[in-house]
Structure 1
Amino acid sequence: MTDLVSHFDLDVTGERSALGGLVVTGITLSSKQVQPGDLYVGLAGVHAHGAQFAGDARAKGAVAIVTDARGQALAARSGLPVLVTPDPRASLGALSAWVYGTAEYPPTLFGVTGTNGKTSVSYILEAILRQLGILAGISTTAERRIGDLAMTSALTTPEATEVHGLLARMAEAKAEAVVIEVSAQALTRHRVDGIVFDVVGFTNLTHDHLDDYGTMQAYFEAKVPLFTPERARRGVVINDGEWGVRLARRAAIPVVTLSTYPGRPADWYAALLRETIDETRFILSGPDDQSLTTSIPVLGRHMAENAALAIVMLVESGIELSAIKNVLDRDGGIRVYIPGRAERIENSGPAVFIDYGHSPDAFTSTLDSLRRVTDGRIIMLFGADGDRDPSKREEMGQIAARLSDVVVITDFHPRTEDPAAIRRVLVDAARAAVPGREVHEVADPRTAFRTALGLATADDVILYAGPGHEDYHEVGGEHLPYSARDDARHALHEFGWL
């Protein structure tokens, strides 16, 4: 403990000599998750200060608390040694790296950022690494996984204490590579501090998270630090959009670019060859006449783009394209399962897809792809997050009406907002965008899916956008059990199609 105090120049309440025999074996922000030997970090929160729970942390076996000046007073009677630093959140990554020794752990680290596609790229990276015979850990919105050990995710990118703890567990499992999905919030809230990625990738930047950042420019600026030497060694940027072009110019590390647009200046190009409801085939070409033709078992041009980004990131990490080509040729393509991302629920009736997309751009990408492979109608079922960026709701309703044939609007995580008010914005936007478009408003998601199913024929497609892999429905601050994937299977069985 004295080494830690000296290394971070922490102020100590009481005698430093009392720290001599203390050994720190872990670090956590949650007093409920403290394990014996942990260093507890008490942060100021919206409703409470973590230092208020120092006594609970001590009872569970915490050996000390790190906090700020305000927390110092709150933790004074806890019986724990109190270590004080002006901004404990800003120190969290470095503290966690020191406690877990992650700077000494040498896996190849991949980081993926962007508005849409982060989870898909992360899963594709892990899948190809596995096909190459490389054990990889993964941390995404959907799950954290080391080999066959999987854990449910709560945040797109976990807090720094959890990230470094995961890296330590991955070291124990002898993982040779780690893939981490990196949100803008992870960068601005210090969740990936203390980590230097070997290769980082950028998918896109589209309308989302303006409740956090206010403007697209501010949202973009939150992403830029990932492409600096303090965060990463090399980068790959999809420059199909203006934000990608800007990022490639702003990057302070070596960057290669990838495009799906012929004629756009880029180092690598990906071109769609064939698109079916179950598979997307593409060709990737790059410097020195390198090329690779393969497929991914997921619908959509955007999925080919995601796969191409993953492959170029692997090449930038030092893996030869020829080695990737050999294993993909051997296996008949990329063998990947991406939970809740255009995930098809097999049945004998209409094609049913459960998707996590909940932004205008995500709606557009998936609906455009479905239109190209669908003979019948597209029935779209969706809602909008409560307590999240309301500025995108109207555009979501407009896109759904323009790009599908039937719209069913339901509740999706209303949280503390009035769900009827959220639905009204979506319904009004859909009807105004395409007068006469068939629009249904059904509050309960279970009933809403059955409404969509009752409208469908065997030639139609149902896209249920929003819930993806999630297994809850958040209403009034309460998480109610609900899995769209499971409910879809139950409903299809009820209708005799499964």
Structure 2
Amino acid sequence: MSQNLAEPVAHDGCLLSDLAAALGVASDTADVRVTSVTSATDMAVPGSLFVALPGARTHGAAHAAAAAERGAVAALTDEAGAERTRAAGLPTVVHPAPREVLGRAAAFVYGTEPGDPRLIAVTGTNGKTTTTYLLHALFEALGVRDGLSGTVERRVGEHAVETRLSGRLTTPEADYLHGLVARMREERVEAASLEVSAQAITHHRVDGLLFDVAVFTNLTQDHLDDYGTLDNYFAAKLPLFTPERSRRGVTLIDDEWGRRLAAEAAVPMTTVSTDPGADADWHLATREVGLDRTEFDLTARDGRSLSSAVNQPGWFVALDTALSIVALTEIGYDLDRIDAALAGRGGLEARLPGRLDPVNPGGEGPRIYVDYGHTPASFRTVLTTLRGFTKGRLFMVFGADGDRDATKRPDMARSAALADVVVVTDYNPRFEDPAAIRATLVRTLEDEFPGLEHYEIPDSAEGIDKAVSLAEEGDIIFVGGHGHRQDVEVRGRLIPYSVKDAARAALAKHGWSTR
């Protein structure tokens, strides 16, 4: 069952004049009560404050009349948009930087307060989605009503939330996010986990929220089209670990970025390491890794410990589980309670959409796994893990997304070359020439790995079919990038496509069971 976030939450909102005063500006003389906030026209409902933001191609004020027709009663915009919002009949608050105060405005209207519910932010290049779902599974094991917001979905308790938002933001805009937290409060959610991207911090999407704990998973090459260097990328994430945004933090210190964060963060930091000799608050030891279960030990500096398992393959999932458990202890959940809850279930049972997701776990023929990770580091991690379970050959099917960090593409190809056979296909070319994207990947393979068996097949489904046609019993095929997605983006259009459906069709075509 899904809920519509546009439905009003149980609160009184505020007067427009009070909101303007809180933002330090004046409003039009006409005063009205606003009960919700939206910067998306199709999310406007009776009582909404429509926030008209300036954009790269158009100004949001161009849609003020449509927002008014849907029930918006006032607007917040800059001088450039004020004439159009007033022409639409909306009393207007004018601020020189409406995006920068969007979070403050939403917090004021919705009355979002720290600690209700308790909020966990998860940031990092890889593992954000995995960690939020592991937190969700932990809350479920503890019997805690929780919420979730991330790349795949948003949830309030047992309900999926209808978004009706355009785009694919890992972290939604601040107005939406505050509305979501207000909905969680109304539904008596005790705690919630939220994915927070670097762009969300830079673009003010988490403004006005104070997280009880912020988790840092890792930092590897990605988004350099936005930030230029890894130092800048790290600097974009660092403000999450300040008193204005979080009370405390949790970080892995196995690499330089985690160690830098532990040293430079302006909030108390709890550290985790897989190195038994490291000076860390918690140590993780992975005991046994299988295709459907990973066992681990987690030990605190003070001697507290937990031995458990998670129903997923890979040391990296054990690590994300450890970070999640430590985060729960940081916001007040007792380790013994967590241990008892997991022991009663035989370990953590987590659903991780698009994370090493098996297509045919019980069938014959080659095993096929799909994953949402689309960075060089995530490719290396998964391929290295799968190599340990491959009786025959290991296949890699992948592409690089267009209009995103082009500097990582050669390294993506280098990581893919850990497989025995590589198939290069298209993956979300957006407005770029897909042939040019593939050429970079293929050229890297041919120049640096001349003996590697590889194929260039533009269509992803045909690329998967090629891998299946070459594979035998005992082989493993890994399809990177698509994961849980149900579409691909080409020149502004979202075209329906499921990589799992394509894999099942290929298996059936070549006579293998799809169970």
Name the TM tier (shorter chain).
Answer: over 0.9
Structure 2 residue 157 is the aligned partner of structure 1 residue 141: no
Residue 389 in 1 paired to residue 399 in 2?
A: no
The answer to whether the aligner puts 1:467 opposite 2:482 as a matched pair is yes
1:224 aligned residue (209, 217, 238)? 238
Question: Match for 2:421: what amino acid?
Answer: V
Q: State the distance in 1 between where 2:193 and 2:162 align.
A: 16
Match status 1:456 vs 2:471: yes
- Could you tell me which amino acid in structure 1 is paired with residue 83 of structure 2? A
CA offsets 1:293-325 (integer angstroms, 9 cap, x no match): 111111211111111100111111111111111
Deviation at 1:105, TM superposition (A): 6.4
How far off is 1:343 after superposition? 0.9
SS in 1 for 2:34: coil
Write the mapping of 1:106-121 to structure 2, written as runs, cut at 5 A: 106-121=116-131
Q: How far did residue 152 of structure 1 move? A: 6.9
Q: Is the 8 A contact 2:114 2:209 kept in 1?
A: no
1:331 equivalent to 2:341? Answer no
Q: Is 1:349 aligned with 2:359? A: no
Range moving further from structure 2, 186-195 or 484-493:
484-493
> Residue type matched to 1:328 in 2?
L
Pairs within 5 Å for 1:121-270: 121-151=131-161, 154-270=168-284
Task: Say which SS state the counterpart of residue 61 (structure 1) adopts.
Answer: coil
Distance 1:115 1:384 in 2: 16
What's 2:421 paired with? 406
Q: Which moved more, 1:256-265 or 1:211-220?
A: 256-265
Do the aligned partners of residues 277 and 105 (structure 1) sit closer, same or farther apart at CA in structure 2, a change above 3 Å counting? closer
Q: Distance in 1 between matches of 2:101 and 2:61?
A: 16
Mapped to 2, the partners of 1:411 and 1:34 lie a distance apart of: 37
Q: Aligned partners of 2:141, 2:195: CA distance in 1, in Å? A: 20
Q: Within 5 A, what are the aligned runs for 1:65-144?
A: 65-103=75-113, 106-144=116-154
1:297 alignment partner in structure 2? 311
Q: 1:103 to 1:221 in 2, by over 3 A?
A: same
Q: Does 1:37 pair with 2:47?
A: yes
| Aligned-partner residue type, residue 491 of structure 1 | A
| Distance in 2 separating the partners of 1:31 and 1:399 | 42
What are the superposed Cα offsets for residues 424-476 of structure 1, whole Å, 9 maximum, x if unpaired? 11111122222110101111111111111111112011110001111111011
| Partner Cα distance (2:162, 2:385) in 1 | 29
Instruction: Give TM-score, length-normalised by structure 1.
Output: 0.96
Q: Give the match for residue 56 of structure 1.
A: 66
2:117–2:181 contact (8 Å) kept in structure 1 = no
Contact 2:280 2:301 in 1 (8 A): no
3-state DSSP of counterpart to 2:206: coil
Question: Aligned partners of 1:105, 1:487: CA distance in 2, in Å?
Answer: 44
Q: For 1:336-392, what per-residue CA distance to the aligned partner results, in whole angstroms no more than 9, with x for missing partners?
A: 000001111123221111101111111111111111222221100000010000000
- Moved beyond 4 Å, runs of 4+: none
Ranges in structure 2 where 5+ consecutive residues have no aligned partner = 1-14
CA distance in structure 1 between the aligned counterparts of 2:38 and 2:20, rounded to whole angstroms: 17
Equivalent in the alignment of 1:279: 293
Query: Does the CA-based 8 Å contact 1:63-1:81 persist in structure 2?
Result: yes
Who is 2:384 aligned against? 368
Query: How far 1:120 moved relative to its partner?
Result: 0.6
Contact 1:379 1:407 in 2 (8 A): yes
Question: Which consecutive residues of structure 1, in runs of 5 or more, have no partner in the other structure?
Answer: none
Amino acid at match of 1:257: T
Contact 1:142 1:152 in 2 (8 A): no
Aligned to 2:5: none
Residue number among 419, 435, 454 corresponding to 1:420 in the alignment = 435
2: distance between equivalents of 1:318 and 1:30?
Answer: 36
Deviation at 1:94, TM superposition (A): 0.8
State whether residues 39 and 52 of structure 2, in contact with CA within 8 Å, keep that contact through their aligned partners in structure 1: yes
Given that 1:105 and 1:171 are in contact with CA atoms closer than 8 Å, whether structure 2 keeps it comes out as no
Structure 1 counterpart of 2:216, one-letter code: F
Per the TM alignment, residue 104 of structure 1 is displaced from its structure 2 partner at its CA by 6.8
Deviations 1:19-76 (A, max 9, x none): 1xx2212111112221111000001101000011111111111101100111123334
Residue 77 of structure 1: how far off its partner (Å) = 1.7
Structure 1 pair 358–104 and aligned structure 2 pair: CA distance change class (3 A): closer
* TM superposition score normalised by structure 2: 0.93
Cα distance in 1 for partners of 2:118, 2:383 equals: 35
User: 2 CA distance for matches of 1:183 and 1:229?
Assistant: 18
User: For the residues of structure 1 that align with 2:290 and 2:343, how far apart are their CA atoms?
Assistant: 19
Are the counterparts in 1 of residues 283 and 300 from structure 2 also a CA contact under 8 Å?
yes
Q: Aligned partners of 1:464, 1:351: CA distance in 2, in Å? A: 11
Matched, 1:492 2:507: yes
Tell me the amino acid that sits aligned with residue 181 of structure 1. E
Please give the root-mean-square deviation of Cα atoms over the aligned residues, in Å.
Answer: 1.3
- Conserved? CA contact 1:410–1:445, under 8 Å: yes
- Once residues 435 and 105 of structure 1 are traced to their aligned partners in structure 2, the CA distance between those partners, rounded to angstroms, is 56
Deviation of 1:480 (Å): 0.3
Distance 2:331 2:504 in 1: 40
Q: Is the 8 A contact 1:257 1:266 kept in 2?
A: yes
Distance 1:105 1:322 in 2: 23
Aligned residue number for residue 442 of structure 1: 457
